[in-house]
Structure formats: structure tokens, C-alpha cells
Structure 1
């Protein structure tokens, strides 16, 4: 009998099981078998908790940098703001890792659910080839044009030297960022969330230890923060490569698979949605910083640096939950266990919205406290205290879109996922952030654009998924 969702799967993404050979008749590894048999609640907790911890550690790279840099005597606030201006570029670097990893990882999970381990390993090998190519081309272009790019992104004459210093060193480690972020999804895809967590934990704790040593003890300032990042990401990348090449991995990294193949197309087609979500986040930061520099100056750019750091704490849970649940959705969708898919995303939706609402409430009630963690400058702290409550208020509902996109990517549905990524960022947020200040709202217009787009896109995502779920998963009746 034909599966209920078979007629609407996109052939270029979800039906690429022809690997050029007969699908491997392999017995799923124990961790993979759990994805199709273990109770959804316990399974989700076992995968989500390590993924959230991993995301928290990942966020430390930028948050801890800013906390330490803000306390450099005399120039701390300028250094923090300069590194904050670099944030769109570091987001762009990680976006390219997601383009490959968030396309290849879910597809390898679906392949494992169908019992085709050979195809899953070919996705991994193709991903490594693509990541290496990106890691060679991307930093070269950025190094050449970094000064004008940073100026366009909102750096002032006072903050530009710090931004250039940080970025020069950071870009030298692009290959490590690409490998650690892009390939870690293949560890999560096989249900090994704890292993994936350890890889990020290694990097984050290394950065946490090296930051004060390089910044203060060795007097390297922002260069020290960047160097700590590079070394930490290198250690993380080595861990990821070692595990994927070991017998412990259900998806083995093999030298013969590291090449460009026709699988790259479906991977990029699926990965373009999370890529656009990340790269447009970079665009948004540019719009925010340039508008705030124009209407408010360095104090407002510094305040945005702090608020994006706090927003990262919300995304720690959002991205961690998505990465933990996505293998469950992908594996069970590939295996045709649609009831388990429904239970996975419904439970995730409730938890995600509850966590987002709790965190945004805390930020809204105690904005001055959170501002004080990053700065002692009364001008910057004042901006954060006034604007943080309404800047984050839409993130409670945004949990809906996050889970919807997680489900779409997990099931290999690139088109609706791509639409939602474009809708929130490019159709809503960027135009609002540009238009509202021009309508006389000034800096208030920049800050209020975020919650308006968050709430609107969440409602649209919920309605869209309700339509697609009925077609992909059937009515839910046995």
C-alpha cells in the first residue's frame, strides 16, 4: 500500500534512494533502532537535553567573548561593539556550514530509516567535499574586503580597528568552523546526541579557558578572543572527524566517498532553508546596525550587540530542541511511522512555546539586570533597559515557526521550509526595519520590527503546517 505522504514528497530531495547500487541491507545500529521503537517522550528527552547543552556551549563562543571584552579597561565597550559588528560575518560563515550539514544530515537520517546505510555515508562524504571547497573560497573573499564590509555593517571610526583585528584572526579558522558545525549534524542524525554534545563542549570549554588567558594575561585583546575561537573550533572539528571515521559511528566517513556527487543537489536544496534563516539573520544584523548607527550612534549599536546576545540564549533552546527532535522525525518519516512523527512534533511544539514564553518574560521584567552583565556604560544600559521588553516579546510565538521548520526539514520538505525562512526575514523583518524608522519612529522602529515579524510568521507557519501535515502524514486515524 502506498504511504499517505508518498505522493507529495519532492523527488529531488526525499526520493534519492538510488545510490547507484542495491540499498545496503544492514541492521540499524542500536541508537538508530531506538529512534523507531523507544517511547517518543523519553527518546526526545534523551536527544534534546544533550543538543540543548551543545547549543548553549556553542553560544558561549560569542557571548563569553563579549562578556570578557566588555571588561577590558578603558576600551571595553568599544571592543565589545566592534566584535558585535563582526557578528553578521560570523553568522554567514556558520550559515554555509548549515547549508551543507542541515541538508545532508536529515537526508542521511531518512536513508538510515529506510535501511540504506551506504547512501547515508555517501551524503556524509559529499558534505565533506563541499565543506572543504567552501572553507577555501569564503575566507579569501572576506579577508580582501573586510574593512569596507565592516564599515557598511555599522562600524564607526572608533570601533572599526577592533572589528578588523577580530575578523582577521577569526577567518583563519574558517575550515574548523565549517567542519565542526557542518559535520556535527551527521552525529545527531544517527541519534548520538551526547557525542554531538561532547564535540561542542570541547570547543566551548576550550574557548572559555583560553579567552581570559589571551585577552588579559597575554594582553592580546580582541585578537586573543578570536584566536581562542579558532583553537577551540579546531579541537571540536578534530573530535567530530575522529568519531565519524571510527567504528562507533553508524555513518562512517570513508575517503572514497569524499568527492562531489549528484547527491549535492538534493542536499543543498534541503539545506537552503536553514542556510537562508542564518544568512538572512546576518542581513538583519547589518540592517539593524546600520540603521541604529544612523539614528542613534555607537550606544545603540552596542545595545543591539547585547540584545542579540540575549536572544541567542532563547535560540539555544530553540535550536537544541530542533536538532534533538529532527532525527526522530526524519527516521520515523523514512520508516513510514507517521504516528510517531505526529507525536514528536506536537510534544515539541508545546515545550518550545512554553520555554520561549518563560525566557521572554524574564527578559521583559529584568532588562536592567541583563544589561548590567555586559556593560557599565549608562548610555548603553539605558537603551537596553528601555527597548529589550518589546524587542523580545514576539519570541514566545516564534517557537511555533521553529518547530514547524524542524518538522519540514526532518521530513525532507524543502519548499515550504524555504518559504517560511524567506517570509519571516526577507518579506517581513528587513522591510519593516528599513521602513519604520523612515516613517518617523527612529530607533524605536528598528526594535519593534522584530516582534511584529516574529508573531506574524509564527501564525503563518502554523497554518501552513496544518495543511501540509494532513497531506504528508494522513489524517492520523488508524
Structure 2
């Protein structure tokens, strides 16, 4: 089998970035469409409080799933550089250690999450109006969360091998399956929140089975039993870089918990539903930007490992240019059509009871303005995303960690604590663009300095 990962060091950067980013973007699009459709089904066929319920469950499922994502991204940085330098044996050991770390860590957290489910749901911001709905969804989804963690890890390894189409399929198949099962279980069989949860569980299983098949049948990384035994040096190397992503994803989980509690304190459950819709739109609308970012990382990591610094500089500039143009287009769509976007999630059917209809009308009144504010600084965020990813791709754990935390940790969380006590719910929404601008300025400064200092041939 030919080693396709070598193409990362020889193909033209623009062509390579498209080859890497388009499949990643399509995969993220389908995955985010899955989340969008899931929310539409729940909002239209169960009610707006069901959106609130899913929103408060997200932090724990997000964080445990992020174990796999962080081990995947952090390990992929090590793996990409090992492949770039021709050290195939180390690449095998890295991948085997990634599997072991992901399985045991996510499994322990899932077990703890089930033991303390009532305490966690209340801590995440659920009030009595939708607590039972949240618990129903939470329990079932957590049964399959280890499969999600393994999928998130494996998907990044597939991309590091230079096979982004298979990584795309790994995201598309479960998303399509979830949409289909949502329709069957919620609409056809009227299983409500249980149906939504089991549809999600099934999607995790589909993804896991596909990735397992890939590594058995298609991968260049043919593992041995010894690959799974943890190696202290490799674990430390993986963890140093994994911690960057885990800290970022953990900060997002903490941010979501804080948001839910602030929204309940200064608003009500419908404001939580508003954020539920907005958070889905953040991932859906930005899918091509995230795709470019994911496509950029293996290119930068491989060429840095091969000491092709000119290609690394070109990858940075091209990625910022492409994703910046996309982000500007997204910004325009959100600013012009916020009400039309929000109305997709809300039913005005006369068959609904009076309370649900009133809640839907109020949700449609509140959410469009909030959506505009949250996306107000979208055109500038690409510099922050690419800049933080660059340091992670080349193995610089500390600057990658600090830059990854600038928006959510250093700016957004403090702003959410400071602004709402003075200006209420509006303080929540205005905090997003302020944090975007500040974090972009900080990242741009450090990225520019690093390029001038390190990428010299």
C-alpha cells in the first residue's frame, strides 16, 4: 500500500488544503446538520422546553466526547510529525496509546456521570420545568458516550494518515443515521425525548463500527498487541498536546454550564432554548471555517516535522485567506436572515396547546437579535482559530493552550460574570463579539511573532 501521508509534503498547498478541508467541511456539515435537524425535530414535535433539556445535557456529553477529540488531536500532532520524519514504528505506538487512553478515561467519566446524574443535571442549569426531560435524554446518551469518544479520536488519526475522505464518511454516516432515526423514533413512533436519545445512541454506534472497519481494512497503521501498552514518554507527549484541546473543550463545557445558569438567573428556560438554537447555528454556520482549520493542522504538522518551513508559512496564509472569505459570507447571511433562520426550529401548528404556542412565539421574538449579536464578529475569528491551531500542530503545547483559551476562558467567561448583573440578558449576547475581537488581537500578535522567529529556512 502506498503511503499517502507523504503527499502532505509534496502537493501544492492550495490544492492540498482543498483536498483536506473539503472532506472535513462536508463531514462537519453533515454532523452539524444532524444537530440542527435533531433540534428542529425536538423543538417542533416535543416543544421548546425539550431544546432547553438537550442544551443543559450538552456539557457532560461534550466533555466526555472531548476526551477522544483531545487525545485524537494531540496524538495526531505527534503522529503527523512521526510520519513526516519517517518514524513509522513510533506512529504505531502513538496510535495504540491513543486508543488505550481514550477508552479507559472516557469509560470512567461515563460511569461517574451516571452515578451522579441528578446532581449534575441540576448543576448544569436545569430547573423543574424541564429537569425530567433532561434526565431522560442524559441517561440514554451517556450509555453510548464511550463510542463517541473513540470516534472523535479515530477520526483525527484517519485525517493524519492523509485520508480525509474516510474521515468525512465517518462523520457523515452516523449523522445521516441519526436524522433518519430521529424521524422514525420521534415523528413516527412518538417516543419523545427517549426517541431523540436513542437516535443519538444509534448514531454513535454507526460511527464506531465504521471507524473500526477502517482501521482493520484500510489503514496504513497496522497495530500490534504491544502498541496498546502505555509508554510513559509517548503518553506524556500525547498528554502535553491533548491537554490543549481538553482544556479548550473543558472550558467550553464550563462556559455552557455558566451560560445556562446565567440565562436561568437573569432570564428563564426560553432563554436557555434560545442559546440552544444559537449554539447549533454556531457549529452549522461555521462548518467550512472549522473544516479549513482541521485541514490545515496535518499539513502544518507534517511539513514542520519535515522542516519545510516555507510550506508551513504558505499553509498559514492560505488557510487564513480561504476561511476569512467564507466567514465574511456567513456573517452576511446571519445578519440579513436571522428571523427566517430561527423560525425553522419553531412550530406554529394549531394542533399545539396554548402554552406551547405562546412559548414558541416568545422564542421567535427573542432569538433573532441574540443570534445577530453572537455572530457580530464572525469575520475576524479565523485568525484566532488558525493561530491557535498552528502552535498545536507544531507541538508547542503552552502557547497553543493559552491561545486556545483566550476567547472562552480569558475573555468570555469573565464577561458573562461582569455584564449580566448590570445589563441583564443583553450582557450575555454582547459578550460574544467582544470576546471574539479581543482574542483575535492577542492571537494575531503571537502568531506574527512566531512566524517571523521560527519559520526561517
Report TM bin, short chain: over 0.9
Aligned residue in 1 for 2:165: 194
Answer yes or no: is 1:418 the counterpart of 2:401: yes
Q: 1:304 aligns with which of 264, 267, 275?
A: 275
> 1:251 maps to which residue?
221
Is the contact between residue 286 and residue 330 of structure 2 (CA under 8 Å) also seen in structure 1?
A: no
Cα distance between partner residues in 2 of 1:30 and 1:139: 37
Is the CA contact 1:328–1:344 (under 8 Å) kept in the aligned structure 2? yes
What per-residue deviation string (whole Å, max 9, x for no partner) do you get for residues 391-447 of structure 1? 211222111111112211111111111011222222211010011011x21001111
How far the C-alpha of 1:351 sits from its partner, in A, is 1.3
Superposed displacement of residue 360, structure 1: 2.1
Q: Does 1:409 align with 2:392?
A: yes
- Mark the CA change 1:253 to 1:203 in structure 2 (over 3 Å): closer, same or farther: farther
State the 1:268 CA deviation. 1.1
- 3-state DSSP of counterpart to 1:70: helix
* Structure 2 Cα separation of the partners of residues 205 and 269 of structure 1: 35
Alignment-derived partner of residue 320 in structure 2:
349
Offset, 1:126:
0.2
Query: Conserved in 2, the CA contact under 8 Å of 1:186 and 1:251?
Result: no
Is residue 2:398 matched to residue 1:427?
A: no
The 5 A counterparts of 1:435-450 are 435-438=418-421, 440-450=422-432
Report the equivalent of 1:24: none
Q: How does 1:49-448 map to 2 (within 5 A)?
A: 49-72=22-45, 75-246=46-217, 248-262=218-232, 263-376=234-347, 377-438=360-421, 440-448=422-430
The TM-score, its normalising length taken from structure 1, stands at 0.90
- Alpha-carbon distance, 1:91 to partner: 1.6
Long gaps (5+) in structure 2? 348-359
Indicate conservation of the 8 Å contact 1:51/1:320, yes or no.
yes
The residue aligned with 1:40 is 13
**CA distance, structure 2, for counterparts of residue 139 and residue 380 of structure 1:** 33
2-structure distance, mates of 1:193, 1:167: 31
Matched, 1:452 2:423: no
Aligned residues: CA RMSD: 1.5
Contact 1:394 1:454 in 2 (8 A): yes
Report how far residue 298 of structure 1 moved: 1.3
Q: Secondary structure at the match of 2:150?
A: helix
Question: Where do 4+ consecutive residues of structure 1 move more than 4 Å?
Answer: none
2:72 and 2:154 in contact (8 A); partners too: yes
Please report the TM-score for the alignment, with normalisation by the length of structure 2: 0.94
**How many Å apart are 1:382 and its aligned residue?**
1.1
Displacement of 1:250 in angstroms is 2.3
Quick check: 2:8–2:299 contact (8 Å CA) kept in 1?
yes
1:235-269: per-residue Cα shift (whole Å, max 9, x none)? 211211221233x3222333321122121111111
Deviation per residue, 1:83-115 (Å, 9 max, x gap):
121122222122211221111112101100000
Q: Secondary structure at the match of 1:71?
A: helix
Instruction: Name the counterpart of 2:353.
Output: none
Number of positions where the alignment pairs a residue of Structure 1 with one of Structure 2: 444
Segment of structure 1 superposing worse, 307-316 or 103-112: 307-316
